[in-house]
A and B are shown apart, each in its own frame.
Chain A
Amino acid sequence: KQEVTQIPAALSVPEGENLVLNCSFTDSAIYNLQWFRQDPGKGLTSLLLIQSSQREQTSGRLNASLDKSSGRSTLYIAASQPGDSATYLCAVNGQNFVFGPGTRLSVLP
C-alpha cells in the first residue's frame, strides 16, 4: 500500500527566503508525481507534474525534483513571497493519486 509523508508539517519563514519542502513515498511503481497548492477552504491548484522518467521540473520560482528509486521528491521555492502562503501537497500517481498530509507554509512580510 502506497504511503506518502511530507516534512515539515508546517513552516514559517520571512519573505525572501529560499525553502525546500520534502515528500517521501514507499512504492516506487508510480506513473508520475504532482505537487499541488491549496489555499484555506479551496480546491487544489496544480503546480508541477513530474513523470516517472523525469528528474525535475521547473516553473518560475518553483523547482521540483524526483528520485524514484529512493522514493523522494522535493519542492524548492525561491525568493518566497507572502502570496506563497498556503498548504502544499504532493501526490503520487500509481493506480490512483495518493496524497501526503501537506506542508502548511506561512511567509511573513
Chain B
Amino acid sequence: DAGVTQSPTHLIKTRGQQVTLRCSPKSGHDTVSWYQQALGQGPQFIFQYYEEEERQRGNFPDRFSGHQFPNYSSELNVNALLLGDSALYLCASSLPGAPRGAFFGQGTRLTVV
C-alpha cells in the first residue's frame, strides 16, 4: 500500500498564475481532504471531497477549487496566485467520518514569487 501520494513535491509559480496539485488516496479510502499549512502554523482545512462532490469547505476564497475523480484521486486548483498562497499543501484521505483517522501525504511545497 503506497499510502497517500501527492505530486509534485515542490513547485514555484509566479504571482497571478494558476496551479494544479494532485493527490492519490490510500487504498480503500474514498474521502479526500485538502489542507494549507503556512510556515510555523497548523494545517487549515480547505475542502473535502466525497463521491466526486465537494462536501465541506473551509474559509478559503473561490480561487481555490477542486475535483475528485471516479478512482477517488483528487486535484486542488488555485487561480490568480498571491504571494500569501505560498505554503505546504497537504492531502488527507479517510473513510467518511474518519472513524479510523486520516492519513496524510508528504505535501506539495508551493512557492509563489
Contacts and interface: CB of A to CB of B under 8 A. Distances in A.
A56 B105 CA distance: 26
B42 A96 contact: no
B56 to A, nearest CB: 5
Q: Classify chain B's interface size.
A: 20 to 34
B33 A97 contact: yes
Contact of A102 (B42, B90, B92, B109): B42
Contacts of A95: 56
Interface string B88-113: 10101000011111111111010000
Q: Classify chain A's interface size.
A: 20 to 34
Interface in A61-109: 89, 91, 93, 95-102
A45 B4 CA distance: 11
A101 B38 CA distance: 10
Contacts of B6: 43
A49 B109 contact: no
Could you tell me the dominant secondary structure of chain A's interface residues?
strand
Contacts of A46: 101-104
B102 A93 contact: yes
B56 A96 contact: yes
Given A4-B42, A96-B45, A96-B56, A34 B106 contact: no
Contact of A99 (B42, B56, B103, B105): B42
6 shortest interchain CB distances as A-B pairs = A99-B42, A43-B106, A44-B104, A49-B101, A43-B107, A101-B42
Given A44-B90, A98-B45, A101-B40, 14 more contacts: A32-B98, A32-B101, A41-B88, A43-B106, A46-B103, A46-B104, A89-B43, A91-B42, A91-B43, A96-B56, A97-B43, A97-B102, A100-B42, A102-B41
